Structure 1
Amino acid sequence: MELLENKVMRVSVIGTGYVGLVTGACLAHIGHDVICVDNNVEKVAALQAGQPPIYEPGLADILGSEQLSFTTDLAAGVDHGEIIFIAVGTPPLPSGESDTRYVEAVARGIGQHMGEPYKVIVNKSTVPVGSGDWVRRLILDELACRQVQTSFDVVSNPEFLREGSAVYDSLNPDRIVLGGRSPKAIERMRQLYAPIINRQFAMDSTLPQVPVVVTDLASAEMIKYAANAFLATKISFINEIANICDRIGADVTQVAKGIGLDSRIGEKFLQAGIGWGGSCFPKDVSALMHIAQDYGVETALLEATIATNQRQRLQVVYQLQKTLKILKGKTIGLLGLTFKPNTDDLRDAPALDIIAELQRLGAKVKAYDPIITEVSAPVTLVDTPTTLAYDCDALVLVTDWAEFKDLDYTDLARSMTHPILIDGRNFLNPQRLQQAGFYYQAIGRPSVGQLLWPTVKRFPALAA
Structure 2
Amino acid sequence: MFARRIAVVGTGYVGLTTGACLASLGHRVVCADSDAAKVARLQAGRVTIPEPGLPELVTAGLAAGRLEFVLGATQAVGNAEVVFLCVPTPMGEGGAADLRAVESVIAEVGARLPRGCILVNKSTVPVGTAAKIAELLDRDDVAVVSNPEFLREGSAVEDFLDPDRIVVGSDAEDAAERVVALYTRLGAPSVLTDAASSELVKYAANCFLAMKLSYVNAMAELCERLGADIADVTEGMGYDRRIGQSFLRPGPGWGGSCLPKDTYALAQVARVAGVEFPLLEATIDTNTRQRQLVLGKIRAAAGGSLRGKRIGMLGLAFKAGTDDLRDSPALAVAELLAAEGAELSAYDPAISGEVPGILTTDDPYQAVKGAAVIVLLTEWPEFRGLDWGRIGEMAQAPVVDTRNHLDPDVVRLAGLAWIGIGR
TM-score interval, normalised by the smaller of the two chains: over 0.9
Aligned CA distance change for structure 1 residues 115 and 389 (closer, same or farther; 3 Å): closer
3-state DSSP of counterpart to 1:78? coil
Question: Which of the residues 29, 32, 37 maps onto 1:34?
Answer: 29
Which residue matches 2:133? 135
3-state DSSP of counterpart to 1:13? strand
Conservation of the 8 A alpha-carbon contact between 1:333 and 1:396: yes
Which residue matches 1:114? 113
3-state DSSP of counterpart to 2:68? strand
Conservation of the 8 A alpha-carbon contact between 2:119 and 2:145: yes
3-state DSSP of counterpart to 1:346? coil
**Deviation (angstroms), 1:53:** 4.1
**Deviation (angstroms), 1:74:** 2.5
Which residue matches 1:90? 89
Counterpart code for 1:124: K
Greater gyration radius = 1
The CA distance in 2 between the partners of 1:80 and 1:431, in whole Å, is 62
The CA distance in 2 between the partners of 1:11 and 1:380, in whole Å, is 45
Conservation of the 8 A alpha-carbon contact between 2:312 and 2:369: no
Within 5 Å, which residues of 2 pair with 1:165-180?
165-180=155-170
The CA distance in 2 between the partners of 1:99 and 1:73, in whole Å, is 21
Q: Note the alpha carbon deviations across 1:245-296, whole angstroms, 9 max, x for none.
A: 1122111111111111112211110101111101100000101011111111
Q: Note the alpha carbon deviations across 1:129-178, whole angstroms, 9 max, x for none.
A: 011111111111xx5xxxxxx62211110001111111111111110001
- For the pair 1:161 / 2:121, whether they are aligned, the reply is no
Conservation of the 8 A alpha-carbon contact between 2:166 and 2:180: no
Q: Note the alpha carbon deviations across 1:58-102, whole angstroms, 9 max, x for none.
A: 221211123111112423311131111011111111310011111
Conservation of the 8 A alpha-carbon contact between 2:301 and 2:373: no
Q: Note the alpha carbon deviations across 1:4-51, whole angstroms, 9 max, x for none.
A: xx2211110011122111111111122211001112222211221222
Conservation of the 8 A alpha-carbon contact between 1:123 and 1:158: yes
Conservation of the 8 A alpha-carbon contact between 1:274 and 1:314: no
The CA distance in 2 between the partners of 1:73 and 1:415, in whole Å, is 52
Which residue matches 1:213? 191
RMSD: 1.4
Conservation of the 8 A alpha-carbon contact between 2:79 and 2:114: no
Counterpart code for 1:29: S
- For the pair 1:340 / 2:322, whether they are aligned, the reply is no
Query: Which TM-score applies when normalising by structure 1?
Result: 0.87
- For the pair 1:316 / 2:294, whether they are aligned, the reply is yes
Conservation of the 8 A alpha-carbon contact between 1:35 and 1:80: no
Which residue matches 1:77? 76
Question: Which of the residues 15, 20, 26 maps onto 2:15?
Answer: 20
Which residue matches 2:103? 104
How many residues get paired?
Answer: 418
Which residue matches 1:59? 54
Instruction: Extract unaligned runs of 5+ from structure 1.
Output: 1-5, 144-149, 198-209, 446-464
Stretch deviating more after TM superposition (26-35 or 177-186): 177-186
Question: Which of the residues 332, 351, 361 maps onto 1:372?
Answer: 351
Which residue matches 1:392? 371
Counterpart code for 2:270: A
Query: Which TM-score applies when normalising by structure 2?
Result: 0.96
Stretch deviating more after TM superposition (366-375 or 47-56): 47-56
The CA distance in 2 between the partners of 1:91 and 1:319, in whole Å, is 32
3-state DSSP of counterpart to 2:206? helix
**Deviation (angstroms), 1:315:** 2.6
> What is the percentage of aligned positions where both structures have the same residue?
46
The CA distance in 1 between the partners of 2:135 and 2:48, in whole Å, is 33
Counterpart code for 1:396: V
Conservation of the 8 A alpha-carbon contact between 1:13 and 1:34: yes
Which residue matches 1:382? 361
**Deviation (angstroms), 1:301:** 1.1
Conservation of the 8 A alpha-carbon contact between 1:83 and 1:122: yes
Conservation of the 8 A alpha-carbon contact between 1:43 and 1:53: no
The CA distance in 1 between the partners of 2:180 and 2:329, in whole Å, is 39
